[in-house]
Amino acid sequence: MSESLQFIIEPGGRLQGTLRVPGDKSISHRSIMLGALAEGVTEITGFLEGADSLATLNAFRAMGVDIEGPEAGRVTVHGVGLHGLKAPGAPLDLGNSGTSMRLLAGLLAAQPFDTVLTGDESLNRRPMRRVTEPLALMGAQVDTSPDGTPPLHIHGGHRLHGIDYAMPVASAQVKSCLLLAGLYAEGRTCVTEPAPTRDHTERMLAGFGWPVAVAGRRVCVDGGGRLAAARIEVPADISSAAFFMVGAAIAPGSRVTLTHVGINPTRIGVINILRAMGARLALANERTVGGEPVADITVEAGPLHGIRIPAEQVPLAIDEFPVLFVAAALAEGETVLTGARELRVKESDRIQVMADGLRVLGADATPTEDGMVIRGGGGFTGGRVDSHGDHRIAMAFAMAALRAAGPVTIDRCENVDTSFPGFVALAREAGLDIRAGHG
């Protein structure tokens, strides 16, 4: 660990000001994918220039798509149409990005050429049978390691046919993978989810002119259409805003306004959960931009209380739980999370890694098979926490320092740039006494 990037945060302080966090990662990924497959030129503004989104952009460049930028969040994609991709000359390295790999698996399963998808050590441990098995039902051939992990060897030249698939676990990545494969499939592809997940793919497909049938938790697309270029304005990422929302809620004297944040109804679990805990949180200037609802979010410090997190909120807040665990450790009483087994197969085992780090900082956190029990009410001690290379864990513990008695050091923070380039600078601007160094 001696070479790892560390965050060192001095204890205390408060967050103040009006902040704009980077663009939404989910929408940035999809804007490149659909722009590349569309006919015409797609203009994107607000694109997230983080390593994950850039992995998607570079993958399409490697398949012959002319993409200008990104420059200050502006990207121009010269679409090649649904059947215009070319075989890449080497395996596509997707870094740390599970979204890139799972969505591309669906798109590439229908191409006439073979491809190999690989990534970093963390990505190459993540489960992929959840996409390869339903793709096989559609007629695709995708090989994984014996453990069902990457690299993915995708065999081209297979004709796909539509399926009616009931997902065993709620996952926007699996749903999106199958819908993208469905663009190429003969007949109709339908996906039914056990709980609502983010619907950016459905919204953006419609924005690019592809009919999408949505009925409750069932989404269908018919194969054989075309995508027409569009203008995409990417809102600020609510998953990135969540760190400052929690920081402001827990640190006395704090008040922040986060501007132009995406408040897609499938993503607002963090807002609903913080409100249920008593957070002083208000939305203003609500509007729709490019088919996505956005708003300015203001959060002020105030007392929080523990809750039993409602089951229906879990998929709506799946990426925000690391920082919500920090809020729970400072709330009066007990917070109980169940039904979140998915957290164990993210960039790290977020249940275990967060429980370990919270205990290092003196909190009472008990991991369970599918969640956590946190008995809150105190502050944090200082200490040294291992983020296990997980960007959201690193940023969550950075906010914990606002209520710590001593300095907090976080190891292995390199991957913060995957979703939030400029995090340290923005956090400093807001009032967190943070610096990055090598320890």
Active site residue 370: no
Pick the closest to residue 297 from 326, 329, 268 (CA basis).
Answer: 268
Rounded Cα distance, 236 and 316, in Å: 17
* Cis previous bond, 88, omega within 30: no
The C-alpha angle 418, 266, 34, rounded to 5 degrees, equals 60
On the 0-12 / 13-18 / 19+ scale of CB atoms within 10 A, 3 is exposed
Q: How far apart, in whole angstroms, are the C-alpha atoms of residue 439 and residue 41?
A: 45
Packed helices 98-108 and 172-182: angle between N→C axes, nearest 10 degrees = 20
Query: Which residue's structure tokens are 């569009």?
Result: 230
For 119-222, list the strands marked E by DSSP: 141-143, 152-155, 164-166, 188-192, 213-215, 218-222
Q: What is the rounded end-to-end Cα distance, in angstroms, of the chain?
A: 8
* Cis bond before residue 421 (omega within 30° of 0): no
Closest alpha carbon to 77 in 227, 297, 218, 179: 227
Q: How far apart are CA 212 and CA 412, in angstroms?
A: 41
| SS (HEC) of 290-328 | CCEEEEEEEEECCCCECCECCHHHCHHHCCCHHHHHHHH
| Catalytic-role residue among 319, 390, 411, 417 | 319
| Residues forming the active site | 319
